[in-house]
Chain A
Amino acid sequence: MQTRWDVGEPERPTINEETEQLKSDLLTLNMGPQHPATHGVLRIEIWTDSEIVAHAIPHLGYLHRCMEKHAENLDFRGVIPFVDRLDYLASMNMEWTYVAAIEKMLGTEVPRRGELLRIMTAELQRIASHLMAFGTYALDLGAFTPFLYAFEEREKILRLFEEVSGARLLYNYIWIGGVWNDWTDEQLERVSQFCDTMEIEAKKYHELVSMNKIFVQRTANVGVFTLDDCFSYGASGPVLRGSGLKWDLRKVAPYSLYPEFDFDIPVGEGEVGVVGDCWNRYYVRMKEVVESIKIIRQVLNKLEAGPVMGKVPKVIKLPKGEVYMRHECPRGELAFHLVSEGDSKKPYRLKVKSPCFTHVSMLPHVAPGQMIADFVATVGSIDIVLGEVDR
C-alpha cells in the first residue's frame, strides 16, 4: 500500500525573492485533532517551511461512527435519528433530505402545512448554522465577542426547536409524510418577532465584523478557490457561491414549495479582495441569513390551518431501485444515494454525499504557499462539521 511518504518531498513555495534565501528544512506540524480552530476532530498534518505551509494533508476519521453500516441494519424510520447526527449543527436539513429520498420512492404526498413548516424549520436551521459559522469564524481569527452575539440569537432558535421537538440539537422532527408536531400560533408569533430582531442584529454583525479593517485584512485575498477548482473538486454551497457562480438548488432545480417563494441567491462579488477568497465565502453566508428571513416571513403569511402529517403505511417498503436526492444545506449540497432491494424494510445501501468532505479535499490544493495563520483562516471559512465529514 502507498503511504504519504511516497508522495515525495513537496516543493517549497516561493512568496517573493527576499524569502528565497530564507528557505529552511521542512518541519512537520500537527494541527489538531484537539486544536480549537479545526472545529471538531480534524487533524491536518502541515509541512512548513518556517512560517509558510508547503504541504497539508488532512487526516480524517476521528469521528467515524459507521453510520452507513448502521443504516443497513435499521428500518427506514429508524435511520432518521442517525441522520441527525451527521451534521449536528443543521439536523433539520439533514433529516429533510433523507426523508425526501424516502418520500420520492414511496410516492407520499405531504400536506401543504407540513411542507411549509418544513421549509420554515429548515430556514431557521440555516440561520442558526450560519450564526454558528459566523461566531466560530470570528473566534478562529481572534475575535471573541461576535461569538457571544451569535449565540444569543441562535439560542432563540434552539428554544423554539426544543419546544416543538423536545430536543435542542438532534430533533428527529421531520418524519416520513410530514412533520411530527404542529407549531402553535404563539410559537409562530415568536418566530415572527425573531425575524424582526434578527434583521437588526444582522446589520449589527456587518458593522461589527464584515467591514472591520482587521477582519478584512485577515480574510480578503486569502485562500482563493477559482471557479475551475470548485468544479473539479465538486464544491457546492457557500464555497461555490463565494467563487461567483449563482448556483443554489433551491432556484436551479427547485424542490418542495421553493418555486413559490421570492428570494435572492447571494454570490461573491469581491467587494474587498478577489472573488472566491475567505471574505467572500463569509459574506455570502451573512447575506443568506437575510434571504432566509425573507423566506420565513413568506411562510408565515402562507400558513393555513391543516394537517401536518400525510398518509404513510405503517410498515414502509420501497420499490426496487435507487434514488439520488440532493438538497441545499447550509454547508453545501447534501445528497443521499439510497438503494432499495424491494420488499425489504431496510435500506440496502445508504451513501451520504457530504459537502464538507469534498471541501476538506480542497485544502491540500490551496495550502501550499500560505502562511500558517492564513491557513487557519481558510479552514475556518469552509465551515466544516466533522460529524458530516467522518459520518
Chain B
Amino acid sequence: MLNVDLNKLAEHLNNQIPGANATVHFPEDIKKCDPSLTVEASKIFQVVQFLKSHPETPFNSLHVISGVDYVEWMEVAYVLTHYSLENPRQMILKVKLTDRVNPVLDSIVKVYAAANFQEREVFDMFGIRFNNHPDLRRILCPDDWKGWPLRKDYVAQKDYNGMAVYPDGKMNFEDREFIIRQDMIKKAQEAKAH
C-alpha cells in the first residue's frame, strides 16, 4: 500500500520548503523492498506539517517513528499514513543524523499527537533528543538506566541498583557462537593432525 508518487512529492517539497533537500531512495527491487523519502533533519517539523495538509496527497496520521543506527549516522524513520477508504496511503519519511554525541531533532507532537510516545521511545532507545517535546522521559527502560540500548555500540551495564542485569555471556549470542566455532575449528585441526 503506497499510492503516492514520491518523486513528485519530493519536487513539491523542495519548491515549498527551502532547504528541505528532499531525495527519494528507490530500492533495487521495488517488489521486495519499500522506497523512502529523505529530508533535511532541521526541517522535519515544517515537512511533516506540510505533508499533513498537502493539497493533493495529505497524510492524516502517523503510524510509527523508528530509529536505525548505521554506526556512521543515525536514521529516524517516520511512517506516515492516510486513513481514507478511497485513497489509503503510506510513506516512509527519513531524516539522517550524523551527530552521535548530541543528536537533536524537532518534535512533531504538535502535528501528530501519536508522536508523543513514539518520540519518547526513540529517545529511550537511541538517545535522540526532541526539542519542544512536552514530556521527554524514558518510556520502556527505567528512568535511571544508563546508555542507549539500540545503538550498535551499546554495552549493557553490569548491575543496576545492586541487581545483576548482564551476567557474563548471557546476552551476546555472537560471542558464544564465535567461541563454539573456534573450538570446532581447533578440534578439526587436531583430528587432522592425528
**Cβ contacts A to B, 9 pairs, < 8 Å:** A107-B32, A232-B112, A234-B64, A247-B85, A319-B33, A323-B34, A324-B90, A337-B77, A349-B150
Name B's A-contacting residues (CB within 8 A): 1, 27-29, 31-34, 36, 60-64, 66-69, 77, 79, 81, 83, 85, 88, 90, 92, 112-114, 116-117, 125, 133-142, 149-150, 171-174
Q: In the complex, are the beta carbons of B32 and A323 less than 8 A apart?
A: yes
CB under 8 Å from chain B, chain A span 212-237: 229-234
Q: In the complex, are the beta carbons of B63 and A335 less than 8 A apart?
A: yes
Cα A166 to Cα B188 with chains together (Å): 37
Task: Give the chain A neighbours of B135 by CB distance below 8 A.
Answer: 2, 4, 6-7
Q: Contacts A321-B32, A353-B64 known; A234 to B140 CB distance under 8 Å?
A: no
Q: In the complex, are the beta carbons of A337 and B64 less than 8 A apart?
A: yes
Task: Give the chain A neighbours of B88 by CB distance below 8 A.
Answer: 252-253
Q: Contacts A234-B112, A324-B92 known; A61 to B141 CB distance under 8 Å?
A: yes
Number of A residues with CB within 8 Å of any CB on chain B: 52
Which of B1, B62, B81, B150 lies in contact with A69, CB distance below 8 A?
B150
Task: Give the chain A neighbours of B113 by CB distance below 8 A.
Answer: 229, 232-233, 361, 365
| A340 nearest in chain B by CB position | B33
CB under 8 Å from chain B, chain A span 309-336: 319-324, 326, 333, 335
| B111 nearest in chain A by CB position | A232
Q: In the complex, are the beta carbons of B33 and A2 less than 8 A apart?
A: no
Distance to closest chain B CB from A368 (angstroms):
15
| B69 nearest in chain A by CB position | A349
| B30 nearest in chain A by CB position | A321
Task: Give the chain A neighbours of B125 by CB distance below 8 A.
Answer: 68
A1 within 8 A of B: yes
Which of B31, B60, B69, B140 lies in contact with A107, CB distance below 8 A?
B31
- Max chain A CB contacts within 10 Å: which of B81, B125, B172? B81
A376 within 8 A of B: no
A74 within 8 A of B: yes
Q: Is the interface of B mostly helix, strand, loop or mixed?
A: loop
Q: In the complex, are the beta carbons of B150 and A68 less than 8 A apart?
A: yes
Distance to closest chain B CB from A331 (angstroms):
15
Q: In the complex, are the beta carbons of A234 and B31 less than 8 A apart?
A: no
Q: In the complex, are the beta carbons of A322 and B117 less than 8 A apart?
A: no
Q: In the complex, are the beta carbons of A319 and B32 less than 8 A apart?
A: yes
Q: In the complex, are the beta carbons of B60 and A231 less than 8 A apart?
A: yes
Task: Give the chain A neighbours of B68 by CB distance below 8 A.
Answer: 339, 348-349
Distance to closest chain A CB from B158 (angstroms):
16
Q: In the complex, are the beta carbons of B136 and A245 less than 8 A apart?
A: no
Please, what's the 1-or-0 string for A357-368, where 1 marks a CB less than 8 Å from any CB in chain B?
110110001000
Q: Is the interface of A mostly helix, strand, loop or mixed?
A: mixed
Cα A391 to Cα B149 with chains together (Å): 14
| A228 nearest in chain B by CB position | B60
Which of B1, B63, B81, B134 lies in contact with A7, CB distance below 8 A?
B134
Q: In the complex, are the beta carbons of B33 and A232 less than 8 A apart?
A: no
Q: In the complex, are the beta carbons of A73 and B172 less than 8 A apart?
A: yes
Distance to closest chain B CB from A246 (angstroms):
6
Distance to closest chain A CB from B45 (angstroms):
16
A105 within 8 A of B: yes
| A353 nearest in chain B by CB position | B64
Q: In the complex, are the beta carbons of A233 and B66 less than 8 A apart?
A: no
Which of B62, B79, B117 lies in contact with A335, CB distance below 8 A?
B79
Q: In the complex, are the beta carbons of A351 and B140 less than 8 A apart?
A: no
Q: In the complex, are the beta carbons of A322 and B34 less than 8 A apart?
A: yes
A66 within 8 A of B: yes
Q: Contacts A337-B79, A348-B68 known; A61 to B92 CB distance under 8 Å?
A: no
A195 within 8 A of B: no
Distance to closest chain B CB from A69 (angstroms):
6
Which of A2, A68, A247 lies in contact with B137, CB distance below 8 A?
A2
| A248 nearest in chain B by CB position | B85
| A63 nearest in chain B by CB position | B140
Task: Give the chain B neighbours of A60 by CB distance below 8 A.
Answer: 139-140
Q: In the complex, are the beta carbons of A321 and B27 less than 8 A apart?
A: yes
Extra contacts besides A61-B138, A324-B90 (4): CB < 8 Å:
A61-B142, A246-B85, A323-B32, A365-B113
A116 within 8 A of B: no
CB under 8 Å from chain B, chain A span 286-315: none
| A364 nearest in chain B by CB position | B116
Cα A339 to Cα B92 with chains together (Å): 13
Cα A364 to Cα B63 with chains together (Å): 19
CB under 8 Å from chain B, chain A span 1-16: 1-4, 6-7
